Structure 1
């Protein structure tokens, strides 16, 4: 009976080590969105702690200061949890091989993992386990060391575009303000390069924010900025140009919208966000007709030429916005984005699908 228990404990310890290694590899090495339970649990636990810290904070600036630490703390908690699980796993293995009491197994495992060397193996099996644990511990630390620079490189690249939007669309940015400024300088017809640049930005975040999902929670250096708000501003501006402004057709604006909502869908899939991959063009959106008409009046006052059929323009705007409306609002809630028109000012509660669903091919 004692032998059977020892074997079961040893196998459980080996399974713990193996699952931890797989978690680390999927999180750091695999270049795609790979859901990992350990990683999810760590970030969920850290998020719960920060939710408690936000309990009495009502104004946005104080909440932003707290949440700015969430992603870095979650990222740094991962290697701690990995090392702790490896220690526990090898502790179970050492105990099953005769390292009694449990404290002795813990000292054996800790000495090997941290390469302290105050415990010397007395047999071949013990030596193999000691070397294996030491290599695994150093490997996990090396993975984290290499992971951080790539994460902050992607963050810096993302924020460069978010910051540039301040000079064009205000702070916090607004699609209407962006187009107002362009209308005053006769720049609305010269937006091809702008749409192409932001289309590449959407493609970049689609890749980086799925292969490194922690980037979703990294907040901008300035509290009034957010990658979510920037995405919504550009998408709404492209939707207004494509539907409402009486300008020559800009195919690059339509492609920018497609690049944007596909990026949000790809990132949303990792977080199991609910959305309709093929929405009806006349589906419901969060922007009201009154808000749309108010935006049209502002654009007209700024000198922009609007299409004469306002009802048709509204229907076209709805047809564009419906592709990204729900996802944009849920990301605004998930990331606690700063107050901004047509996005975080009406954020939807974050929801996760209970099961994965198959996606159909989206359309423009």
Structure 2
């Protein structure tokens, strides 16, 4: 029986050490089964309640605590598993019962010192347990500022986009608002900033996957829907304005679907890496015309008709639509036009273009 305790204890301690290293230390996308199971277990009851809600705001309020709570539960789970693992090891090398061994390991792990064995074999395990507790807690303390710094950088651009794309954001609304204030030629600046944003999010959200489920401060904003809106705006720009500079637009669009694919690889979501331009698309031509009408209402200049632009637009969107809609469903993102269905039916909110309140020019008076 002691041999079984020793094997189980060693496997548990080494497995949790691996989870800590993969989650907190290794600066590259690595998957931890323990962390993923904990996050799924924490999310499950909240998601069941959210599925019963009818409004997007209610769903958002229910799901908002999930990601932060999963971080706390993960830390507690690591420490508990270490206590059990070291307790099994101590039971294997001593004559102590399982209860006394757990007391001994807990006293050492949390550096309480109220239980102390006199055996040399116990002292060695106690030293390891005493070092493990502060190291894990210290790593977690250093992990949180990094995590929240990445979250704040992500949300800054999402918040800035609200004035350009509405709430929730929508691709055609971006071009419509740029046309409304006569700054269509400066839209390249937006695409440059979102190219860098996509690279940062792709790196941070694969290294720290819990960020995927961190929700925005407001229910009508979401990082994934914002990225989808920018990518749709880029695809519309390329489809309708072939004579304009395309390098910045194409690079932003490519960075966007590379970001989505990196996240999909981390989440184990399958996708076609090279879809055919005429492949199936969830977005219909009728929905496309609704977006085009919104752009034209505000005077967005186009070089192609909708019929001519549609094949070009769908050839771009087929690269990212399936992944964006799958992730939007998984995280229950705010429902927005062109973003696909959610887990349960919810009303889609279309952003309203603000009224142009610039003063009208004075009437021309002839001499």
After TM superposition, the score normalised by the length of structure 2 is 0.90
Q: How does 1:54-203 map to 2 (within 5 A)?
A: 54=50, 56-203=52-199
What whole-Å deviation, never above 9, does each CA across 1:209-246 have from its counterpart, x for those lacking one?
Answer: 00011100000001100001100110000000000246
Q: Which runs of 5+ in 1 are unaligned?
A: 350-364
What whole-Å deviation, never above 9, does each CA across 1:32-67 have from its counterpart, x for those lacking one?
Answer: 111111111101111112123335422221221110
- Counterpart-to-counterpart distance in 1, 2:77 and 2:281: 42
Question: Could you tell me whether the CA contact under 8 Å between 1:219 and 1:226 is conserved in 2?
Answer: yes
Question: Could you tell me whether the CA contact under 8 Å between 1:242 and 1:249 is conserved in 2?
Answer: no
Q: Rate the CA distance shift 1:114–1:227 in 2: closer, same or farther, 3 A.
A: same
- Counterpart-to-counterpart distance in 2, 1:99 and 1:306: 83
Select the residue among 322, 328, 336 that pairs with 1:326: 322
Q: Residue 336 in 1 paired to residue 341 in 2? A: no
SS of residue in 1 equivalent to 2:271? coil
How many residues are treated as equivalent by the alignment? 344
Coordinate RMSD, CA, aligned: 1.5
Quote the residue 1:50 is aligned against: 46
Q: Rate the CA distance shift 1:264–1:283 in 2: closer, same or farther, 3 A.
A: same
Q: How does 1:4-43 map to 2 (within 5 A)?
A: 5-43=1-39
Cα offset, 1:99, TM superposition: 4.2
- Counterpart-to-counterpart distance in 2, 1:253 and 1:28: 35
Cα offset, 1:348, TM superposition: 7.8
After TM superposition, the score normalised by the length of structure 1 is 0.91
- Counterpart-to-counterpart distance in 2, 1:246 and 1:89: 63
- Counterpart-to-counterpart distance in 2, 1:347 and 1:266: 22
Cα offset, 1:79, TM superposition: 1.0
- Counterpart-to-counterpart distance in 2, 1:247 and 1:293: 22
Quote the residue 2:217 is aligned against: 221
Question: Could you tell me whether the CA contact under 8 Å between 2:241 and 2:304 is conserved in 1?
Answer: no
Q: Residue 204 in 1 paired to residue 175 in 2? A: no
Worse overlay, 183-192 or 313-322: 183-192
Question: Could you tell me whether the CA contact under 8 Å between 2:206 and 2:263 is conserved in 1?
Answer: yes
SS of residue in 2 equivalent to 1:93? helix
